[in-house]
Amino acid sequence: MFQFHNHFLNLQILEYFKLKILNNVLSCTIISTFFVAGFTTPVNAKEAGIYLHGGATYWRDLEIPEVIDPAELRDSLIEYEIVDSRTRPSIAVGYNIDENWGIELLYLSTPKRMLSFNQVIEPGDADDLQRTLTWRNTVQHTTYGVNVVYDIPIKNNFSIFGKLGIAQTSHVVDSSLTYSGRTNPVPEALYGFVEEVDTEDLCGAIGARVPLKNIFASLSLAYQFVETSDGRESSFEVAIQMKF
């Protein structure tokens, strides 16, 4: 049994390092392709006019939603997890005034995050069994905003850019209760233990842009941030921007 356990553990370690190496190779490939395209494509990285921006945003670090009153949970252990993919779509539509200035409307959302804890119900006079209630709150933020975009051309086919704007970040909290094997939704106002508010605050990004050959489009890599009721959330985005 001991030898089997060691073998299983070694397999897990091996798989972990395989995934880590694969992720590093993919990251290097994407970055290398980005810069090779930028220095070999003889067109401008940014063209004046209306554009549509679509990307994949990876939320690497996310703050734990704030609990309303920890004392009411009676020192219960709170479990926290990301319940869907850390990669979410990001969309924007904008207008480039010239090769430097632009303005855009954006939409993005964070992954769903779940907090849960168990509450033990002691036996009563009519029931000699100890029962457990499981409370769950799932939180997701959605952001709509407007950015001013400024590009600094480094070469004719490569530029770095910055974005700064105001965003409205709203939230959705779903509450549920599991008891005796049954899970039912409950009103947030009655049973919710996660404190969330809608916010209106800064959003922004900094990144680099290269054109795609023979089409009116560019590829960009960016670090971006938005403010939420949990604090500042940051992410990395890979996107394509098409001019119309």
Radius of gyration of the chain (CA): 24
Share of the chain above pLDDT 70, in %: 70
Question: At residue 91, what is the residue type?
Answer: I
**In this predicted model, what pLDDT tens digit does every residue of 29-78 receive, in sequence order?**
444 444 444 444 444 667 789 999 999 999 988 877 777 665 555 566 77
Q: What is the mean pLDDT of the chain?
A: 77
The model's pTM: 0.71
124 band by pLDDT with thresholds 50, 70 and 90: low
**The pLDDT value given to residue 41:** 44
Calpha distance 30→36 (Å, rounded): 10
Q: What angle is formed at CA 234 by the lines to CA 228 and CA 235, rounded to 5 degrees?
A: 130
217 pLDDT higher than 50: yes
- Least confident range from 47-51, 103-107, 143-147, 197-201: namely 197-201
Domains of the chain: 41-243 (2.40.160.20)
7 band by pLDDT with thresholds 50, 70 and 90: very low
**In this predicted model, what pLDDT tens digit does every residue of 161-209 receive, in sequence order?**
999 999 998 888 888 878 777 787 776 655 566 777 788 888 999 999 9
* 39 φ/ψ sector (left φ>0, alpha ψ -120 to 50, else beta): alpha
Q: How far is CA 240 from the centre of its chain?
A: 18
Calpha distance 117→237 (Å, rounded): 33
With the CA atoms of 43, 36, 242 and 44 taken in that order, what torsion angle do they form, in degrees rounded to the nearest 10? -20
Query: Would you state the structure tokens that stand for residue 89, as one six-digit string?
Result: 């779509």
More confident residue, 12 or 118: 118
**The pLDDT value given to residue 208:** 95
More confident residue, 11 or 110: 110
